[in-house]
Structure 1
């Protein structure tokens, strides 16, 4: 399965969970997805943390990715994501990406994949996607973590935002100076 291959290849980082849904062969993952790996830290093979990740990624996959939700600190990492993972995108994959440094929401078609891009400086992609899809916690009641992703994917199938369809180059030129806001212990 694709996600197990990613796990074995150190492409999953800060894993929240990786488990099979109630549909055999369909897996769910929540955590970070490595876009650019870390450099070698020593002669023993240890590496530094990744140079770039998709934060709080939500992936539903069998042999191909059916759904990809997550956060990017910089829209310039979208082409990196596409280059690294596009061969694993299922036909008709649903993708909602929350991006810190874009000014306006947009739809971008790259190859045969439509990406919904939404500005987000502070927040969690899972929660923001729930809000975009008008889902509530009760919609996931009694489900395993992986099956919650199936519910999200089923609702994403019906999602039809009115965001402008743009070329990626147009999105790359309409940037904000926003930086991701991080909260932690004081």
Structure 2
């Protein structure tokens, strides 16, 4: 499966779960996803820590193609890193919604044929924010496995309408600011 391959290549970090959903060839993952790998650090081939990661990643794969991608990016430029590294794994109908710390307004960007909804976020957990944006309540997920919760989120995208205009990456860069995230977890 796709996420096993990512795991073997040390692209998954701080894994919350990686598991099969009820449908055939459907798998879900939550954790961190490496966007830019660290350099080789020694003669034994061990790598230095990643240069860039997507935090709070929520991924769904069907038939070894990414059908849902969500998570938190510290900077808008990380979107191009994500696309460069993973575009070969995109499903034609992939749904993508990223919470981006350094943008000032909601917008949409089309890259590699996929529309990426981008929403500003300086605090909070991407999974919780995703549920809010998709208007899902905890009761909608009650009794479901972790993987099935991700499948439910994917199904809700059918009625999701992204806010903000569709802009180019160059135009999107004009809506960035020097904003830092307030925190990633319990202190």
Class of the TM-score when normalised by the shorter of the 2 chains? over 0.9
Q: Corresponding residue for 1:64?
A: 65
Alpha-carbon offset, residue 43 of structure 1: 3.1
Q: Corresponding residue for 2:134?
A: 133
Alpha-carbon offset, residue 40 of structure 1: 2.8
Residue 53 of structure 1 aligns to a residue in which SS?
A: strand
Instruction: Give the CA RMSD over aligned residues.
Output: 1.2
Alpha-carbon offset, residue 47 of structure 1: 2.5
CA distance in 1, matches of 2:177, 2:121: 11
Alpha-carbon offset, residue 173 of structure 1: 2.1
Indicate conservation of the 8 Å contact 1:94/1:157, yes or no.
no
CA distance in 1, matches of 2:115, 2:43: 42
CA distance in 2, matches of 1:46, 1:9: 12
Deviation readout 1:146-180 (Å, 9 max, x if unpaired)? 01000000001220123211111101122111101
Indicate conservation of the 8 Å contact 1:28/1:61, yes or no.
yes
Residue 83 of structure 2 aligns to a residue in which SS?
A: helix
Residue 151 of structure 1 aligns to a residue in which SS?
A: helix
Q: Corresponding residue for 2:18?
A: 18
Q: Corresponding residue for 1:148?
A: 149
TM-score normalized by structure 2?
Answer: 0.94
Alpha-carbon offset, residue 184 of structure 1: 4.5
Show structure 1 runs of 5+ residues with no match.
none
Q: Corresponding residue for 2:107?
A: 106
Show structure 2 runs of 5+ residues with no match.
none
Alpha-carbon offset, residue 32 of structure 1: 0.5
Q: Corresponding residue for 1:82?
A: 83
Alpha-carbon offset, residue 46 of structure 1: 2.9
1:41 aligns with 2:41: yes
Alpha-carbon offset, residue 41 of structure 1: 3.3
TM-score normalized by structure 1?
Answer: 0.95
**Count of matched residue positions in the alignment of Structure 1 and Structure 2:** 185
Alpha-carbon offset, residue 57 of structure 1: 0.3
Between 1:112-121 and 1:156-165, the stretch displaced more is 156-165
